[in-house]
A and B are shown apart, each in its own frame.
Chain A
Amino acid sequence: MTYRLRQKIVPYLFLIPNTAIFSLFVLLPMVYGLIFSLYNGSFVQGFGRFVGLANYIQLGRDQTFQTSLFNTFWYVVVVVSLVLVLSLTLAVLLRQTSLGSSIARIGFYLPVILSPVIVGVSWRWMFSTDLGVINALLTEWGRTPIPWLTDVHWAQMVVVLASVWSMTGFYMVLFIGGLNTIPPELYEAAEIDGATTRQQFWRITLPLLTPTTLLVTILATINSFKAFEIILVLTNGGPGDGTKLLVQNIYQTAFDASNPSYASAQSVVLFVILMLLTFFQTRLAREN
């Protein structure tokens, strides 16, 4: 083998283990899911009958799927916006290293290391309409209990709050890391020029944090699309379909309704949405 040929082949040889793992655990299930979505299959009888695009056509008429898709979009928009604003605010406030801010940082980061199931159970314990601590206190004080988890709008609010609470600490740390890369001389120069704190934030901090902000947006968006455990434990997607997101609908279609082919079709739709989002976000990042 000539040197030139070897030089061409060797990099690909190094790629083989990674490619093999990626193909086996990511690519193969994806292709399998795509093919399975074109069949009328079940867990018991395998692929079953070929139905072409019938599962996708049915999605257009499926109200539960459309509700879960709509819920997913508003959930992602609200959660990502709140996470961005809150984590950035906390990072700016806790940027200085002092004992107080270190303790506060630990406090805000703590929810991140908790299991989502624990988060769901704790919030349920607080907000349960019938047995929750908050409603017990309200009743004790002579106030009317609030239907936290049994009214669609209240339940949506609780789900968003619980998700934001569990995520903010992680993104706060990313923002603190981003803030530490901004040279302090810029602030000193701005101060000498008479810039106010607000002007410093809008003219220095925010523009220089753009890469971190983009990273946080991409990560928070993807994580919000995948939100499942907290909501499952907290409301089980209820009341009705009020807090049911696409991932939960896919799970219930596959396992409760025993219709894995139709669930695969929904997964393909989710995959396309995530792919488009990632494409636009990456493009935006490149332009910046």
Chain B
Amino acid sequence: MKRVSVVMAIMLAFLGSAWAAGDIQVVWFTEAPTEQGIFDKYVQMYEKANPGTKVQVTYVPFQQLTQKLQLMVAGDTPPDVARVVTANIAEFDPVALDLSAYINPDQFVNQFLPSQVPYIKKGSRIIGAPLDVTANGLFYNKDCFDQAGVKIPTNPIQTWTWEQWHSAMDTVRKNSKCRFALSYDFTTYRFSTLLYEAGGRYIDESGKKFVVDSPESLHALNFFNELFQDGYISKGQWLSGEDPSNLFRSGLSAMYMSGNWNLSQFAQITNFKWGVVPLPKDKIRSTVPGGKFVMGFRNSKNPAEAARFIQWITSKEINLPFSKDNMVLSARKDGKTLKYGQFDDEIALYLDDLSVTPAYVGKDWSNPAMAKMNTFIRDQIVKVLLGQQTAKQALEIIQTEGDKQLK
């Protein structure tokens, strides 16, 4: 009998240590190899500051994040906390943990940049917290530009027009060791940079109607198609899953349309010098703002601790050094003056692009319909690139499908 009680005591102790009351399960996506090490450091800091809590982190590559969360939510085993992007926060809104029960909502929301608030504030509910702000941007290979003798604009106000950008890429392609002119991420989000620069938009001011079938959007899609057909963008990137980032990092592409989150990973490039160029302009200057968020889930095991962790990681004391370590733009109002020590000039360019971006761009992307339309729009663009439909037909199809989603 005594032996049985000892065994039971050991088992209970084991079970207790396996899942203590304060433990939280975190799903954290990574886009760059450096991110995991940095987050591990902050997890250790949190555990040290909260001795009763153990943070169990599951790292997933960005491409698998949505599927991972969908399956966890569908199986009613959501994580306590997840790092997500704008499209996810819209999709998981119905099952999101309402933080307003754990915080002072006005005070909490007031810490963050106004552009990020529409994503997290849904009526009286607070469904997450912004970690950082992202902006699409253009990288260039300094060695190839120097070799071709092409100067890049340094002042965003006097940035290239599309024609000047096109001509610069043409010269670099012909006169440097770079085989390809432009790497271009295979996403609707990145294509949209051109659409907004041309003066187009997806959804009207009321948020109830798609207006993408416009002469401005047509101009953008035609320009993109020309870059593709004329070989400025190598075909594999948009037709057969060739990794645009790889092409740039290996020194094969002269430019790369991506975004600010690449800075920390590009800091490790040693085979050539690179920099950031202000985004070219057409009718207007614009980038596409986005962001990374942390959110909790209603049916998770430990919502109270999840809320505490979310507050902690987005607090001034933690979020500013965390943003600096990852070389990302903090979503906090007091993060504007943050100095990074390196890449301060590059980050200033992203901030400048963000400052001139019209408000409707962020409004487009915080509309849940855009999360559902993302892949559909990209598929229609690919059909244009393959010559299976005209740019005009693609825009008409996107508009019709978009209106269906908004209903």
Task: List the interface of chain A (C-beta within 8 A of B).
Answer: 43-46, 64, 128-131, 147, 149-150, 152, 155, 235-236, 238-241, 252, 255-258, 260
- Do B70 and A240 have beta carbons less than 8 Å apart? no
- Do A150 and B236 have beta carbons less than 8 Å apart? yes
The answer, among B240, B247, B375, B376, for a CB contact under 8 Å with A239, is B240
> A residues within 8 A CB of B192?
none
A44 CA / B91 CA spacing, docked (Å): 8
**Given A44-B91, A64-B379; A155-B240 close (CB under 8 Å):** yes
A137 CA / B240 CA spacing, docked (Å): 20
The answer, among A44, A150, A255, for a CB contact under 8 Å with B240, is A150
> A residues within 8 A CB of B71?
43
**Given A44-B91, A128-B242; A255-B66 close (CB under 8 Å):** yes
> A residues within 8 A CB of B180?
130
Nearest chain B CB to A240 CB, angstrom units: 5
**Given A44-B92, A129-B240, A257-B376; A239-B382 close (CB under 8 Å):** yes
- Do B239 and A238 have beta carbons less than 8 Å apart? yes
**Given A43-B74, A44-B91, A44-B95; A150-B67 close (CB under 8 Å):** no
Tell me whether B55 is interfacial, beta carbon within 8 Å.
Answer: no
- Do A150 and B239 have beta carbons less than 8 Å apart? yes
- Do A238 and B94 have beta carbons less than 8 Å apart? no
A258 CA / B69 CA spacing, docked (Å): 11
Please, could you name 6 A-B residue pairs with CB atoms under 8 Å apart, sorted by A? A45-B94, A128-B240, A129-B235, A130-B235, A255-B70, A258-B372
As a 0/1 sequence over residues 302 to 339 of chain B, the CB contacts with chain A under 8 angstroms (1 = contact) are: 00000000000000000000000000000000000000
Tell me whether B174 is interfacial, beta carbon within 8 Å.
Answer: no
> B residues within 8 A CB of A150?
235-236, 239-240
A54 CA / B92 CA spacing, docked (Å): 25
> B residues within 8 A CB of A239?
235, 239-240, 382, 386
Chain B 31-90 interface residues, beta-carbon cutoff 8 Å to A: 66-67, 70-71, 73-74
- Do B240 and A240 have beta carbons less than 8 Å apart? no
Residue in B closest to A242 when the chains form the complex, CB atoms:
B386
> B residues within 8 A CB of A155?
240
A45 CA / B372 CA spacing, docked (Å): 15
The answer, among A64, A129, A131, A240, for a CB contact under 8 Å with B386, is A240
**Given A44-B73, A129-B235, A130-B236; A255-B67 close (CB under 8 Å):** yes
The answer, among A46, A64, A129, for a CB contact under 8 Å with B236, is A129
- Do A252 and B382 have beta carbons less than 8 Å apart? no
> B residues within 8 A CB of A64?
379
